[in-house]
Structure 1
Amino acid sequence: MEKAITKIVIVPSPGFSHLLSLIEFSKRLIQLSNALHITFLIPSLNSPSESSKSILKTLPSAIHATFLPPIHIDDLPEGTPIAAHLQLAVTRSLPFIRDALKSLSLTPNLAALVADLFASDSLICAKELNILSLIYCPSSAMTLSFCLFLPKLDQIVVPTTQFKDLHEPIQIPGCVPINGRDLLNPVQDRNSIVYELFLQKCKQLLHVDGIIVNSFKEIEQGPIKALIDETNGYPNVYPIGPIIQTDSTNSKNGSECLTWLNNQLPNSVLYVSFGSGGTLSQDQINELAFGLELSCQKFLWVVRAPNESSNFGYLNSHDDHDPFKFLPHGFIDRTKEQGFLVPYWAPQVQILSHNAIGGFISHCGWNSSLESIMNEIPIIAWPLFAEQKMNAVLLSDGIRVAIRPKGNEIGLVEKEEIGEVVTRVIEGDEGRELRERMKEMKNSAYETFQEGLSIETLVKLVVRV
């Protein structure tokens, strides 16, 4: 008799990086069980990006994706943080999510709804249909531990005090101590609507049926031990990492930069990229360009047009601007033998796995951090927004696979420091030591990945075998 198919619905939040992680997670689920069918219900702001549509075309037949009608948030005040955009997009998509779930429930075996952390409002629909409600946290276990701890921390710290003003580091359960200024962006202003929305999300976490986190105990033993400690009263936590992308879309930019890398020496090139949406100010672009030139090291730089908002590119596809015109005068000619410039996008999976790459200036998004570990690439930690400062603390102070530039009193990382740090990573003993630690992490990750025990447990929970 043919085994019944169990249906799972996944609701990501808008934005490419979270969608990407959930797609890789869903691929692993169906690899472990041929009795699953997965449906993505994707909230969107404006039209879906080309990168999102492109990757969805590669999905196996057991995974189906639907973009929900675009949500327009023109009524939000100018300057509303991106976190509020993400959460409101999901909240205003609830009628469409509810209708889609009701339609899916007309046939048997709708078992669970898995929601991204910023899409947790959709779990109300799971409760209405009496199916499992699960959260997917695409970031580190340290970030998840903070989210579950925040309701308590909010009660401990006097309401008139900002976390960034605390004199002592905050001790998140199981984690390295962290200064308040390095906590997630949404909690930096406790008087804001963004903080209230985020605090509400964290409280919701305590009432779900389970939480999936893209990490593994070999790199985050302390946080994961705290998360699964039954005395904390948390829901069941499933550390199922490392979930990373294994391929990326080909393009002219991609093939050209890979050809250039083929002509470079092993471990000799610094890769510079700030993720799918990170942007630098014009002043910082200038300092970075001069610093790379000053280092005399080979580099491959994914260049974006400048913007004072560090997350401007996260929900905005690149415009018609040539990003190279914002580089310092003469820089391209002076460094034509030293570096390779790519506008806006490059095939990061192939780049980080290339033997010419010896270091990575990274925004410390969790996807990029895991990809670095799996490819033994030392990190120069350059966080911009969201939880990236927390990841930078974990990478530099916790598992010690990164160097974090200090920057000056206004947060600008100057060319002299950039040149010095780049040289330390590419040529120095410090870089070799970081690479050795990365190798240890990679070997542990492969063992965890091959065993797949946590994700197999999750499949059994959902399928109820």
Structure 2
Amino acid sequence: MKQTVVLYPSAGVGHVVPMAELAKVFLSHGYDVTMVIVPPPFKSPALGASQAERIAAANPSVSFHVLPPIPAPDFAGSAKHPFLLMLQMQRQYNHELESFLRSIPRKRLHSLVIDMFCADAIDVAAKLGVPAYTFVPSGASPLAVLTQLPAVLGSRKTGLKELGDTPLDFLGVPPMPASHLVAEMLVHPEDELCRTMASIFKRGMDTRGVLVNTFESLESRAVQALRDPLCVPGKVLPPIYCVGPLVGNGARDGEKTESHECLAWLDAQPEHSVVFLCFGSMGTFSEEQLEEIAIGLDKSGQRFLWVVRVPSNIDDPKRLLEKQCEPDLDALLPEGFLERTKDRGLVVKSWAPQVDVLNHPSTGAFVTHCGWNSTMEGVMAGVPMLCWPLYAEQKMNKVFMTEDMGVGVEMQGYTAGFIKAEEVEAKVRQVMESKQGRELKTRVAARKKEAEAALEEGGSSRAAFVQFLLDVENLGEQPAE
């Protein structure tokens, strides 16, 4: 009889997608997999409601169990940050999660793998005697920083925001400007949002082990730091298993993307000639910034494929509540831009099949918000990246991508929240035409080979996953604590 692994992602496209890829790894090792989904409190592309439905349809071998809905917090009327309300809601689902886990015979229940933001589910696993593991959809480098950050905050009486760009030293990563940390951690240490985030990062390291969406050679310094007793003085961190990159195959996963107009357009372009601009599930810009991007692309003379969304305030957490409309490209972009560039550019509304685009022979560079899924997809496709971080841990990722991994170049101006047309033009030209661009392509191509090797039989990520399975098996042979 097969054992069952239960995966418990938090809301958000960037969390659900890589956990679905993790499910496939379990399936390939002969396990049944059930992904437990908390019903989203409102329809939002950023929260991945429609994405979860697409993933379920594309992965019939994975069971998807949606927990019975309970009354959601008042997101629209509450003065609290939506992130705090999401955590509160996730906590309230513990009872429903427990009921579901009890429905599976204990001998069949292999483990509970929780997203890093579902740390409260650790209590449920402990109550039932089920081994719990944390899944980190981001990399080892941001994890190393976030694991050490609570101690830094605990040693301060004021917030980190006042430090500005002062570099902070963390084990295993390059010096990190204070301003590049997760924004919610820059407020006063006694602020509820900051305290809650610190608590989440602490608790996430209280499971039996941590599965990370990376491969060891990409972030070896950070991985070693997480295994170093000095990482968090006085605390023994759980084992770290680098099991990535967990990247989908796009249309080959069953999504109906073959007919998307952009893929047919790419087929008609020369090899490695197109700059792809896409900024994640929540990446939006002001009308002024969209105009600067358009001018820069126009002047660069390069071919481009650009995904444009309706402008919204990226710093407003309640933008998640907004219903997303299709953008009016004629109104948003400079007059005549679409007509002038029609022979070498394509602008698509709201969404494109990113994995397919990155792996298309015509794609030569990727302007990205530095979300971890996008970073891994860029590495796996061997496409050089232009780094334009927007929110969450993306500014940290920019540092790792440009300084440690060597897979990207910085778009200057992101720290001020506005990148000028001249910078867009210069950096696009640099990556596509210059010697530095060719060197960058060579480095990314080498990283692609490393990633492929990690996933092969005997590779580091395959070996790490097998070790994880052995460690879970050995737990069953130990006397109960």
TM-score between both structures, scaled by the size of structure 1? 0.92
Point out the more displaced range, 455-464 or 158-167: 158-167
Q: Choose the corresponding residue for 1:45, options 33, 41, 44.
A: 41
- The yes-or-no answer on 1:457 pairing with 2:467 is yes
Q: Residue in 2 aligned with 1:15?
A: 12
Find the counterpart in structure 2 of residue 58 from structure 1. Answer: 58
Q: In the alignment, is residue 271 of structure 1 matched against residue 276 of structure 2?
A: yes
Tell me whether 326-335 or 125-134 shows the greater mean CA deviation: 326-335
Quote the Cα distance in structure 2 between the aligned partners of 1:317 and 1:98.
33
**Cα deviation per residue 1:64-96 (whole Å; 9 max; x = unaligned)?**
112232662325656754533442331232222
Matched with 1:437 is 443
Which consecutive residues of structure 2, in runs of 5 or more, have no partner in the other structure?
477-481
How many angstroms does 1:319 deviate by? 2.5
Mean Cα deviation higher: 65-74 or 429-438:
65-74
Runs of 5+ consecutive residues of structure 1 not aligned to the other structure: none
**CA 1:449–1:409 in structure 2 vs 1: closer, same or farther (change >3 Å)?**
closer
**Cα offsets for 1:404-453 (capped at 9, x unmatched):** 12218842101111111111111111111111000111111111111210
Task: Map 1:317-332 onto structure 2 (within 5 A).
Answer: 318-322=324-328, 325-332=331-338
Pairs within 5 Å for 1:61-140? 61=61, 63-68=62-67, 69=69, 72-74=72-74, 80-104=80-104, 106=105, 108-140=107-139
Change (3 A) 1:297 1:7: same
Per the alignment, residue 181 of structure 1 pairs with 179
Q: Does 1:357 align with 2:363?
A: yes
Is the 1:145–1:173 Cα contact (8 Å) retained in structure 2?
Answer: yes
Contact persistence 1:6–1:463 (CA under 8 A): no
Offset at residue 384 of structure 1 (A): 0.9
Residue number in structure 1 paired with 2:241: 238
Shift of 1:461: 2.7
Name the CA shift for 1:277/1:58 in 2 (closer, same or farther; >3 Å): same
Matched, 1:367 2:362: no
Question: Would you say the 8 A contact 2:76–2:321 is kept in 1?
Answer: no
Corresponding position: 1:301 with 2:299: no
Give the equivalent residue in structure 1 for 2:217: 218
**Equivalent pair of 2:153/2:159 in contact (CA under 8 Å):** no
CA contact (8 A) 2:307 2:350 kept: yes
Q: Is the 8 A contact 1:46 1:70 kept in 2?
A: no
- Structure 2 counterpart SS, 1:119: coil
User: What is the root-mean-square deviation of aligned Cα atoms in Å?
Assistant: 2.3
Aligned to 2:479: none
- Distance change (3 Å), C-alpha of 1:390 and 1:367: same
The worse-fitting range, judged by mean Cα deviation, of 385-394 and 145-154 is 145-154
Q: What does residue range 376-395 of structure 1 map to in structure 2 within 5 Å?
A: 376-395=382-401
Contact 1:14 1:89 in 2 (8 A): no
Report the Cα offset of residue 372 of structure 1. Answer: 0.7
- 2:37 maps to a residue whose letter is I
Measure how far apart 1:102 and its partner are.
Answer: 2.0
Tell whether the 8 Å contact from 1:115 to 1:134 is kept in structure 2 after alignment: yes
Match of 2:203 in 1: 204
| Cα distance, 1:50 vs structure 2 | 2.1
TM-score norm. by structure 2 comes to 0.89
